[in-house]
Structure 1
Amino acid sequence: MRLFACQECRNLLHFENVVCASCSSALGYLPGPGVLSAFRDGKARADEKPWKNCANSVHGVCNWMLPVEDENEFCTACRHNRVVPDLSVEGNLPLWQKLEIAKRRLIYTLDRLRLPHDPEELRFEFLADTPEHRVMTGHADGLVTIALAEADDAEREKRRNELHEPYRTLLGHMRHEVGHYYHTVLVEREGRTEEFRDLFGDETQDYAAALKAHYDKPPSDDWRGEFISHYAAAHPHEDWAESFAHYLHMVDSLEMAASFGMSVRPRLDKEGVMEAEVDFNPYKASMEDILLAWTPLTVAMNAMNRCMGTPDLYPFVLSDKVAEKLGFIHRIIQERPPLQ
């Protein structure tokens, strides 16, 4: 993610803004050019072309635009929705708004990585619990289900504590679940299964049995060093999805750091310093450059959080094995031919 500037007054803008706080210009995101644009007389100041609002803008859940000649009602992000919350139920709208913020950030990153996301293949269902059924967040054949309850901050924190997780966010959920979809796209369809197994293991092992064994096992630290998280150790598919989500965390955060012009030089000892100047595009950089910048940046982020008395923003450790898995994901994404 990066910062934007209002084309009318040069005021700083953020991805979710719909009105410029300085000049009151209406704002909308143009997914093709990848620009948050001010509008004047129905035309985007970014390209002086006419655009129209996504149909979901009336609910205050989307600020993406479509070309006026586009026959679709919904933008390229909202077309992925198959089921949205029942807005006649009190309290559902603000929860849906949070889900859409996370989903649009996800789609932004997929676009920056030039990854295909056909809405006929990759679909989202945002489902509320019922007295008879508790919705489980998950993925099946390109269908991503997100429990609406996860958008409630208190409920999500409760679940995080119950599962002994150091990190649990809506954006993290979405990045993880689409990671399962991209295993099909990037590994299976591209004939990279043997390469995958060399790093992540045999994905043909019984998934249900592996997850049961994972949850039945007493908490331990025996996963550290081999996996990015405890859950990643449950099954090769989960290892891939956790690693894929982590890769998206990294490139998105580094793009924002570069947008702010961040330079990090924490002192270590008399012999040297850990340093990083984030002045590159992580979507085009080498994995080596990404990793060299990432460690000092996360050290700084955690230190700032501790100053405010909040938990570490980045509660992870990148081992050599995890870095190798991330490097594999980076390589197969970078080697993909440009989208037509």
Structure 2
Amino acid sequence: MKPYTCSNCGNLVHFDNEVCVQCGLRLGYRCWSDDMVALDPAGQVAVDGQSTAQSAFLCENAAQGVCNWLVEDAGAARLCRACRHNVVIPDLAVEGNVERWARMEQAKRYVIYSLRRWDLPLPGPDDAGNRHLSFSFLADVQNLDGGVEPVMTGHDSGHITINVAEADDAERERIRTEMKEPYRTLVGHFRHELGHFYWDVLVDDGGRLEQFRSIFGDERQDYGQALMAHYEHGAAADWPNRFVSAYASAHPWEDFAETWAHYIHMTDGLETALSFGLRLTVGASLSQPRTDGSFDPYRAASAEDLTRRWIPVSIALNSINRSMGQPDVYPFVLSPPVIEKLEFIHSLVQRNGRPGSAA
């Protein structure tokens, strides 16, 4: 995530900060103006060392230490534009669940930020219309007979369920190793599952099914059987030539969701790099354009342009991680067929949102 500045003292602050370490004031993020403001003890916005007449209202979930967003109108809503989508939160009586919930909300806010930058539809559970976006954060259920009823992370008609265990680093790493995945993160889960939601909204409802099928394949093939075959036999040996991940090869819906997630990975990753002043070109032989500060990833002219600028950044980040003995930040190869799929997603974002608008 790009950095921000404290409205009171001008200190650099981060998207997740709750308090400015320099002036000591409480911080709140205003998603409607994409800025971080400091709040004086009376709840007024502080600017340049002075309290103003602007009142600010923290999201109700700030009391649990899991949110730092502000509410636009405290008289109309108690929850911010990110938290309002929650239907079920973790059982806070369970030890460690407040911390797990905080990590899940953090990841969700990263993704909501991107969706708002593009001004894509974000219908809440109580909004009018046929499509609604909601979240449940659930844990596996221990039965009286000693058995376990697992919670499956997934999407169903706008409702996204995330297993709370994914917020435990050790458990998530265990699953990643067991599944032989190169990458498994909370923010990746949210981006992926939201890809399923936007397939419904932008492809199915948006009249783009035939174009989708010509690029990703026919989604009418049996989904359950396709996943069963994938888990039983694995991906085809040549999957890197056609898909962004092995799992993407399981079914066209999963291919779209995986590619959607990578489109956001690249866009937000590039914005972060540029906002910190990262300027680089890796090897003239790679024909990479210089990634400079005049480029706004959320306003990219094409997915190809985005990809060509992302590659040198990802190479640099991977190399830095290797020098520290850490896994690659972005262990993926973007083949020409994948870039074609990214172009389709780019066209959906361009047609249905206002890229680069205020968050």
Pair in the same fold by TM > 0.5? yes
Corresponding residue for residue 19 of structure 1: 19
Which amino acid counterpart does residue 43 of structure 2 have in structure 1? G
Corresponding residue for residue 67 of structure 2: 62
Deviation at 1:37, TM superposition (A): 1.2
Aligned pairs (5 A) from 1:19-98 = 19-40=19-40, 41-45=42-46, 49-98=54-103
Corresponding residue for residue 199 of structure 2: 183
Which amino acid counterpart does residue 45 of structure 2 have in structure 1? A
| Range 315-324 or range 43-52, more displaced | 43-52
Which amino acid counterpart does residue 101 of structure 2 have in structure 1? W
Q: Is 1:108–2:123 an aligned residue pair?
A: no
Look up the SS of the partner of 2:239 in the other structure. coil
Corresponding residue for residue 2 of structure 1: 2
Deviation at 1:38, TM superposition (A): 1.4
Corresponding residue for residue 202 of structure 1: 218
Deviation at 1:191, TM superposition (A): 0.3
Look up the SS of the partner of 1:224 in the other structure. helix
Which amino acid counterpart does residue 44 of structure 2 have in structure 1? K
Corresponding residue for residue 137 of structure 1: 153
Corresponding residue for residue 122 of structure 1: 133
Deviation at 1:323, TM superposition (A): 0.5
TM-score, scaled relative to structure 1: 0.95
TM-score, scaled relative to structure 2: 0.90
Deviation at 1:267, TM superposition (A): 3.8
| Range 45-54 or range 287-296, more displaced | 45-54
Q: Does the 8 Å contact 1:50/1:68 carry over to 2?
A: no
How many Å separate the matches in 2 of 1:198 and 1:254? 29
Of 284, 287, 292, which residue of structure 2 is paired with 1:278? 292
Change over 3 Å in CA distance of 1:23–1:337 after alignment to 2: closer
Which amino acid counterpart does residue 335 of structure 2 have in structure 1? S
Look up the SS of the partner of 2:298 in the other structure. coil
How many Å separate the matches in 1 of 2:120 and 2:38? 27
For CA contacts below 8 A with separation 6 or more, give which structure has more relative contact order: 2
Q: Does the 8 Å contact 1:305/1:311 carry over to 2?
A: yes
Which amino acid counterpart does residue 138 of structure 2 have in structure 1? L
Change over 3 Å in CA distance of 1:164–1:220 after alignment to 2: farther
Q: Does the 8 Å contact 1:276/1:297 carry over to 2?
A: no
Deviation at 1:62, TM superposition (A): 0.4
How many Å separate the matches in 2 of 1:33 and 1:231? 37
Look up the SS of the partner of 1:37 in the other structure. strand
Change over 3 Å in CA distance of 1:37–1:254 after alignment to 2: same
Deviation at 1:220, TM superposition (A): 5.0
How many Å separate the matches in 2 of 1:142 and 1:150? 20
How many Å separate the matches in 2 of 1:221 and 1:45? 58
Deviation at 1:274, TM superposition (A): 4.5
Change over 3 Å in CA distance of 1:127–1:278 after alignment to 2: farther
Aligned-residue RMSD, C-alpha: 1.7
How many Å separate the matches in 2 of 1:90 and 1:17? 24
Deviation at 1:272, TM superposition (A): 7.5
Deviation at 1:218, TM superposition (A): 4.5
Change over 3 Å in CA distance of 1:88–1:227 after alignment to 2: same
Q: Does the 8 Å contact 2:235/2:250 carry over to 1?
A: no
| Range 202-211 or range 114-123, more displaced | 114-123
Look up the SS of the partner of 1:214 in the other structure. helix
Look up the SS of the partner of 1:309 in the other structure. coil
Q: Does the 8 Å contact 2:235/2:247 carry over to 1?
A: no
Aligned length: 337
Of 322, 330, 338, which residue of structure 1 is paired with 2:338? 322
Deviation at 1:91, TM superposition (A): 1.3
Corresponding residue for residue 348 of structure 2: 332
Deviation at 1:69, TM superposition (A): 4.4
Q: For structure 2, which runs of at least 5 residues remain unmatched after alignment?
A: 126-131, 143-147
Change over 3 Å in CA distance of 1:337–1:65 after alignment to 2: closer
Change over 3 Å in CA distance of 1:78–1:219 after alignment to 2: same
Of 146, 157, 162, which residue of structure 2 is paired with 1:146? 162
Change over 3 Å in CA distance of 1:184–1:285 after alignment to 2: same
How many Å separate the matches in 1 of 2:276 and 2:314? 15
Corresponding residue for residue 312 of structure 1: 328
How many Å separate the matches in 2 of 1:125 and 1:90? 19
